[in-house]
Amino acid sequence: MTVIDKVWLGADPGGNGNFGIAILQSDGTASTYCVGCADEAVQTLVRHLQLNPAGVGVDAPLWWSSGHSSDRRADRWLRTRYHLPGGRVQAANSLRGAALVQGVMFVYRARQRFPEVNVTETHPKALLTALGLNDWNSFCSRFSVMAEIENVHERDAVISAVAAREGFERRWLNDLSVSRDESEQDPSGYWLAPIHYFWPEK
């Protein structure tokens, strides 16, 4: 029997039936599910967890800006660094409510069950572009992941769990939450804190 010493969670918040979640184990195997809301996501994860998660990755903006379009420095950096159009890395004002509200509520509910859990924001689609990985098999090979996925929501949840693992295991040291505009919330000290945004390169 495989010894599991850590698990990481991933979430891709969406609407009914499109909220992807993943449980990534230390041996690289991942279980995935699609549910309808943050409450169902936390309930499903709790039913399938064997121990407390070491970290959670969430594909949603987890701190906001009161500036123009609610755009953040991290999002502008990603668009510029990887030549991504605004439709790929959107300002918060352009996103649907499922990503905004359900993402924040998922973290809030998860921390009610696991008060000390580490959380990082993620952006799976931008990450695949940044790493030059064009297909699922390439990603799994690069990060030693074994997961059967049925849709993009489950895929993005697994990628988010990997981002949590890499960030909190100190392999990704660039935290995009540190450099912000004055109009942005401080993710190290506001009501949902602490929140990180680990990225694999400077």
* Domains of the chain, start order: 7-199 (3.30.420)
Helix residue spans in the chain (DSSP H): 38-48, 73-81, 97-113, 124-131, 136-143, 152-168
Residue 92 confidence (pLDDT):
82
Among 78, 181, 173, residue whose Cα is nearest residue 120: 173
Tokens of 57: 């990755």
φ, ψ (nearest 5 deg) of residue 106: -60, -45
pTM confidence score: 0.95
- The answer to whether 100 and 61 are in contact (CB under 8 A) is yes
Q: How far apart are the first and last CA of the chain?
A: 39
Rounded Cα distance between 137 and 114, Å, is: 32
Each residue's pLDDT expressed in tens, for the chain with a length of 202 residues? 355 589 999 999 998 999 999 999 999 999 999 999 999 999 999 999 988 999 999 999 999 999 999 999 999 999 999 999 767 898 888 877 788 899 999 999 999 999 999 999 999 999 999 999 989 999 999 999 999 999 999 999 999 999 999 999 999 999 999 999 999 999 999 999 999 999 998 6
- Using the structure block, give the residue that is written with the tokens 């994860």: 45
Residue 199 confidence (pLDDT):
98
Residue 94 confidence (pLDDT):
81
- Strands 119-121 and 55-58, bridge-based pairing: parallel
User: Which residues face 7 on adjacent strands?
Assistant: 25
Among 118, 152, 147, 138, residue whose Cα is nearest residue 29: 147
For 77, counting Cβ atoms within 10 Å of its Cβ (0-12 exposed, 13-18 middle, 19+ buried), the class is middle
* Residue 24 φ/ψ region, left for φ over 0, alpha for ψ in the -120 to 50 degree band, beta for the rest: beta
Among 89, 98, 103, residue whose Cα is nearest residue 61: 103
